[in-house]
Structure 1
């Protein structure tokens, strides 16, 4: 489902899908394109109204279903995915705009008409309708609009008219004297478009509306429908490559096809998240509302045509036929994108808003028992009175430094809160978010173990009492640093193909071999190492997990100097290094199971949604006026990067809300990692492009150059983009491995 989150919303989405399935909307469009172009409502409109789908967001006392705008977004997204023909989108845009003035008797009467099935369209200020006699009783609308979606089918127009420097809003009946609609031949075969002329129209009903919010409603709901279109493109392409065979196997088994299909899913997920965020932001302050709406215009409306073309590319020639449904979606994507306006204008709007700060992604916490908050607040009150002496081996910040404050937090279970007591507090998603909120409120940095954040939890979960007695407290207190020894020169991201040999000797195991790209191994005291203990077993068998003393005999660490001049990664050589039986994690041969559990332990943790920060570098360049080209070009670049970063954050927020609702971990984590990898690369390139000739300076004096040279840290360290796309294709989309 493109935007549905809760169980109730999923049920609502299924209602729309079921309705559309019964009505075979695409076939209806083909057979009735001429009627639809001329504004004839589809024959199933009355049933759509009777189901309450047209008025799901309107108050019950005006005939609606009493739902939220999120509920309406579900309906619009699913109608886009099903490509329902007819005036649903322009009508619900009109009723949503009008509903902001609800409570007035005149407005409520109009909303009752909408809930009862009346159709409508919104005419925004850019259509340049003028109000004559603005200060008197004889108010008349004059002018000709540009293209208006739903103009021919609308029974009521919600019109913005210029009265001097002011904008005033009116509702005008289609049958009023002086109203004329000129129907145009639209690209979208499923609904009408036209030009509306007002010739001194006096039969108008004034309504008090917020112009900026009304425009935001239009783009938000249009983006939601576009997200539904994009999702159909992704789903349909995925289904096709699973079933289409060439050279004796499904084309979905070919890696190039897998990557292209995975990229299309990423486009769909980002579009849905951005569109959902635009609806979420409708009642935010104007700058935040602009942030969300412009982001949706770029990430959903701006990508809809691309998604249709990608779907066509994966289908090949069959997708280029009249009989295939794809061209109908392609046409709707073209129409939606065109009516939204040039992406350049949205980049400019978003960039201007982003100069004042990022999009707000505060997690809406449900009401909770205050006892947990009071408990952690009391601990943090004590912690705030203490200091950490620092520095840590991996930095000199309060989040990693050891000291009295860190010791108190570790001993209280607040460093690794999801873990079992006494090392954690068995905190679920809600408790973790409350804890993060309290850390912020107390002005205390949330403690980090560096790479140990991913390593130590499996040790705490599976370690013996003796292992925990030796290792747990120093790790949690930040006194000992951990690294993860998985990658090998010939294995790369294919962990199961590792060859480091662990041979049984008296009292333990002897390690021989090499690990590589081990982050911070030269700073680490302990390492979690995966070694092969049975060379005759299969790839995923005969592997064992070891807890290795990085200062032990036979362990040699050689830092790898990176292109940036930094040296955060290492080669680690094991030359008959001894590991006692007491430092085997789990049982011999359980290594692969524990590797998967290591990933599963990560899923216990839930972080608040923070701005990813990719736009800060560009924002700083603009504020320091270090751009080589025009300021507008730099602001537009900021808008492009901000839109993608915000979409990733919105996706993470949606995943957090799902987790709070008790739902299992979804695909958003995998999708967000891949999207973030691409964003890292593109954001660095944008910064270099903006500064122009200054990019020829060395990394010691030009920070964007240093960042560019450090890109591999971000796009390889967590697994290359290709590996991430493989994961999405096979594990999320279910494409065949071979």
Structure 2
């Protein structure tokens, strides 16, 4: 829920939070809002400068720490969480921009900022620069600028026939600063108007690149939005845990839990967007343009949304002047406004994504060279083998494939499994293997449903079961299905009624299962059945491995609303299962099912199938949208934003594991966001199409794409159940 993943970043965040707690706090901020609105510095400014928090990102030659945008974002997020008042954010934006510039004017300004001067940046489309005998003449008004009133160093951008002109503003009668009545009560905002203002050559700032400037501005503002969102979430959760209504904490009500859980989902989106932008400092221009637009589009609105939801969860007290919530809310609105409109950034992201895409590779190409060479040799061999095998009509892997057999022999189907089935690969090794596959443009082999089944057998099964099932499954000689859900037991899995009766040599299973993916093509199924009717419902379940060719099994494909049949209902009519196909002990099925479901959720959340950017690109390419093209490009931008958010969250999870951290909330958060993103994207697609969506077109079936959404919204646990999991297990809200 916060930017830092590395230990030194976490230490930095703790130091900044400690500083913010020592100096004044929000009570002090409230008592000085008039001062701050006029441009005064907080009394703690000198202490902040002594700690170097204003210069963590600046080169050492100017007295900075020589760090970068990633470290600055950590500081900004923590100060945003504390609602630190005054000109800190506009100052570090100004110094961050100047650190990328060249020339004596930039050096002079940087030196002043590094010693504690405050700064501001003025931009806008209405500032016009024309050449004059003395240099340049600039006229017009800038957009409202944070920190302008009271700023010691002001950097201005005007537009000329030659492009952008950056210069230092010197006091002059031709320059007027109007102090505006800001929405944010805790820092100043003003408007600069220039009338035939003369700019000498010595004040010109050279070497600035528009995309670098944009990246710095949007990353800093996104980091502050992440801090605001985190404060709002924490404040709301703390309140609903203790607030009593109807004799119990309001945090035990499902509606409240879902609100709080969605606040966490949004916080993770904002955090991931700010983090991805901050880490792009050394990436190329196209990459920086993508993440900069994403930071503005994905992170800044979250500060507003979470602040509002905080107020709604606090109730009336949150809507009072005395509560701090509106101060955070105001700041969130302010920083989102100065960054530019959501519509603009959505269109910008869509436009920039037309010919570039985000590169989420993160592995050092020199890391683990021996493993890389081993994988490359296998990939070279596989490339020479025929792409044969019997393909599936659904999601199952092809059977009898020579390529698949070679991958299995090389332990690359599930490299994280222990020997003899895998390589015992940890996070670093898995990342390297995935990187090698990605460089070939190949998908890593999967056992599909087996991804969830085999870890359970490896953890809880006996040696004979492991030998019998794991290796053949890795080779795709065994295809699995999952026999869990029933007509009366979906999300309430422990309420299932399929019976397992003990007989000589095994068990007899009777009951009905439903929504079983690929059961019509599966060789084996994992079945949860009630083996003890007298035990509590969670303790009377057992976990069986069922041969799908057994007598008494009737698999009936279900025709979905899309017209496809990817799911099934399975009837078990006195199906005999031998004792050697019971995993672990009778009555331990619930524990084993939890292992299976946890692996299921871990394997989801990496791609979007419905409402994907690919579909938006197709709509734009064939001009099938029933709206202006710019509206379709905006829709593409929002779709890209959802995909970037999901990928960034997943990469943060991987990076955390590489840093030695245990998996956190990202699995359930990604599951929820994956489902919601596909729902939003698919619906946005229909909004663009008009009459085209009324026709079934096999080459571009957009309406059927939307109708297929339930398979995503239900699979692996409904969104609502996942929100319950987040609320109770991650946020610690009480059960009802």
Normalized against structure 1, the TM-score is what?
Answer: 0.95
**1:86 positional shift:** 0.7
The answer as to whether partners of 1:295 and 1:644 remain within 8 angstroms in 2 is no
Could you tell me how far apart the structure 2 residues matched to 1:579 and 1:202 are? 88
- Note the 1:641-720 alignment, pairs <5 A: 641-698=639-696, 700=698, 703-720=701-718
Could you tell me how far apart the structure 2 residues matched to 1:404 and 1:386 are? 7
Query: What do the CA deviations read for 1:545-602 (whole angstroms, capped 9, x no partner)?
Result: 1111011011111111100011111111111111111111122222122222334556
Could you tell me how far apart the structure 1 residues matched to 2:560 and 2:606 are? 31
Distance change in 2, residues 1:659/1:611 (3 Å): farther
Query: What secondary structure does 1:693 align onto?
Result: helix
- Note the 1:448-527 alignment, pairs <5 A: 448-527=446-525
Query: What do the CA deviations read for 1:228-269 (whole angstroms, capped 9, x no partner)?
Result: 111211111111111111000000111111111111111111
Equivalent position of 1:190 in the other structure: 186
Equivalent position of 1:409 in the other structure: 407
Equivalent position of 1:170 in the other structure: 167
The answer as to whether partners of 1:9 and 1:71 remain within 8 angstroms in 2 is yes
Q: 1:180 and 2:166 equivalent? A: no
- After superposing the two structures, state which structure 1 stretch, 473-482 or 249-258, moved more: 473-482
- After superposing the two structures, state which structure 1 stretch, 593-602 or 52-61, moved more: 593-602
Distance change in 2, residues 1:332/1:604 (3 Å): closer
Equivalent position of 2:228 in the other structure: 229
Query: What do the CA deviations read for 1:606-635 (whole angstroms, capped 9, x no partner)?
Result: 998999981111111111111112111111
Query: What secondary structure does 2:488 align onto?
Result: coil
- After superposing the two structures, state which structure 1 stretch, 403-412 or 601-610, moved more: 601-610
Equivalent position of 2:7 in the other structure: 7
Could you tell me how far apart the structure 1 residues matched to 2:436 and 2:336 are? 43
Query: What do the CA deviations read for 1:621-664 (whole angstroms, capped 9, x no partner)?
Result: 11111111211111111112221221111111111111111111
Query: What do the CA deviations read for 1:406-437 (whole angstroms, capped 9, x no partner)?
Result: 11111221101111111111111111111112
**1:728 positional shift:** 0.9
Equivalent position of 1:210 in the other structure: 209
Q: 1:63 and 2:63 equivalent? A: yes
The answer as to whether partners of 2:616 and 2:685 remain within 8 angstroms in 1 is yes
Could you tell me how far apart the structure 2 residues matched to 1:189 and 1:215 are? 25
**1:732 positional shift:** 1.1
Could you tell me how far apart the structure 1 residues matched to 2:416 and 2:263 are? 34
The answer as to whether partners of 1:177 and 1:201 remain within 8 angstroms in 2 is no
Q: 1:47 and 2:47 equivalent? A: yes
Equivalent position of 2:75 in the other structure: 75
Distance change in 2, residues 1:206/1:402 (3 Å): farther
The answer as to whether partners of 1:159 and 1:170 remain within 8 angstroms in 2 is yes
Distance change in 2, residues 1:601/1:682 (3 Å): closer
Query: What secondary structure does 2:307 align onto?
Result: helix
Could you tell me how far apart the structure 1 residues matched to 2:601 and 2:261 are? 22
Which of 546, 549, 568 lines up with 1:548 in the alignment?
546
Unmatched tracts of structure 1, length 5 or more: none
Could you tell me how far apart the structure 2 residues matched to 1:378 and 1:432 are? 17
Query: What do the CA deviations read for 1:29-68 (whole angstroms, capped 9, x no partner)?
Result: 2111111111111110000111111111112221011222
Query: What secondary structure does 1:725 align onto?
Result: helix
Distance change in 2, residues 1:45/1:612 (3 Å): farther
The answer as to whether partners of 1:699 and 1:705 remain within 8 angstroms in 2 is no
Query: What do the CA deviations read for 1:162-192 (whole angstroms, capped 9, x no partner)?
Result: 332321222334x466443221111111000
Query: What secondary structure does 2:391 align onto?
Result: coil
**1:323 positional shift:** 1.0
- Note the 1:219-298 alignment, pairs <5 A: 219-298=218-297
- After superposing the two structures, state which structure 1 stretch, 226-235 or 594-603, moved more: 594-603
Could you tell me how far apart the structure 2 residues matched to 1:4 and 1:442 are? 32
Could you tell me how far apart the structure 2 residues matched to 1:613 and 1:267 are? 20
Equivalent position of 1:86 in the other structure: 86
**1:489 positional shift:** 1.3
**1:442 positional shift:** 3.8
Query: What do the CA deviations read for 1:680-724 (whole angstroms, capped 9, x no partner)?
Result: 111111122211112112365751112112111111112111111
**1:131 positional shift:** 4.6
Equivalent position of 1:528 in the other structure: 526
The answer as to whether partners of 1:395 and 1:401 remain within 8 angstroms in 2 is no
Q: 1:436 and 2:417 equivalent? A: no
- After superposing the two structures, state which structure 1 stretch, 441-450 or 415-424, moved more: 441-450
Query: What do the CA deviations read for 1:518-543 (whole angstroms, capped 9, x no partner)?
Result: 11011100011112211211222122
List structure 1 runs of 4+ shifted beyond 4 angstroms: 175-178, 394-397, 599-613, 699-702
Distance change in 2, residues 1:651/1:196 (3 Å): same
Q: 1:157 and 2:145 equivalent? A: no
Query: What secondary structure does 2:203 align onto?
Result: strand
Q: Report the count of equivalent residues.
A: 733
Normalized against structure 2, the TM-score is what?
Answer: 0.95
Query: What secondary structure does 2:169 align onto?
Result: strand
Could you tell me how far apart the structure 1 residues matched to 2:626 and 2:85 are? 48
Query: What secondary structure does 2:511 align onto?
Result: strand
Q: 1:148 and 2:145 equivalent? A: yes
Distance change in 2, residues 1:606/1:563 (3 Å): closer
The answer as to whether partners of 2:105 and 2:204 remain within 8 angstroms in 1 is no
Equivalent position of 1:318 in the other structure: 317
Distance change in 2, residues 1:715/1:395 (3 Å): closer
- After superposing the two structures, state which structure 1 stretch, 7-16 or 589-598, moved more: 589-598
The answer as to whether partners of 1:423 and 1:460 remain within 8 angstroms in 2 is no
- After superposing the two structures, state which structure 1 stretch, 597-606 or 375-384, moved more: 597-606
The answer as to whether partners of 2:123 and 2:143 remain within 8 angstroms in 1 is no
Which of 612, 631, 634 lines up with 1:633 in the alignment?
631
Q: 1:340 and 2:304 equivalent? A: no
The answer as to whether partners of 2:144 and 2:191 remain within 8 angstroms in 1 is yes
- After superposing the two structures, state which structure 1 stretch, 551-560 or 287-296, moved more: 287-296
Could you tell me how far apart the structure 2 residues matched to 1:621 and 1:606 are? 27
**1:7 positional shift:** 1.6
The answer as to whether partners of 1:519 and 1:570 remain within 8 angstroms in 2 is yes
Query: What do the CA deviations read for 1:205-248 (whole angstroms, capped 9, x no partner)?
Result: 22221123213321221122112111211111111111111000
Distance change in 2, residues 1:400/1:225 (3 Å): farther
Unmatched tracts of structure 2, length 5 or more: none
Distance change in 2, residues 1:657/1:545 (3 Å): same
- Note the 1:545-584 alignment, pairs <5 A: 545-584=543-582
The answer as to whether partners of 1:485 and 1:530 remain within 8 angstroms in 2 is yes
Query: What secondary structure does 2:190 align onto?
Result: strand
Equivalent position of 1:36 in the other structure: 36
Distance change in 2, residues 1:302/1:445 (3 Å): closer
**1:342 positional shift:** 2.1
The answer as to whether partners of 1:481 and 1:524 remain within 8 angstroms in 2 is yes
Could you tell me how far apart the structure 1 residues matched to 2:672 and 2:63 are? 45
Query: What secondary structure does 1:548 align onto?
Result: strand
Could you tell me how far apart the structure 2 residues matched to 1:147 and 1:446 are? 51
The answer as to whether partners of 2:128 and 2:160 remain within 8 angstroms in 1 is no
Equivalent position of 2:110 in the other structure: 111
**1:279 positional shift:** 2.5
Could you tell me how far apart the structure 2 residues matched to 1:701 and 1:59 are? 55
Query: What do the CA deviations read for 1:186-208 (whole angstroms, capped 9, x no partner)?
Result: 11110001112345244552222
Could you tell me how far apart the structure 1 residues matched to 2:63 and 2:607 are? 37
Query: What do the CA deviations read for 1:296-319 (whole angstroms, capped 9, x no partner)?
Result: 222222232222211111111000
- After superposing the two structures, state which structure 1 stretch, 372-381 or 722-731, moved more: 372-381
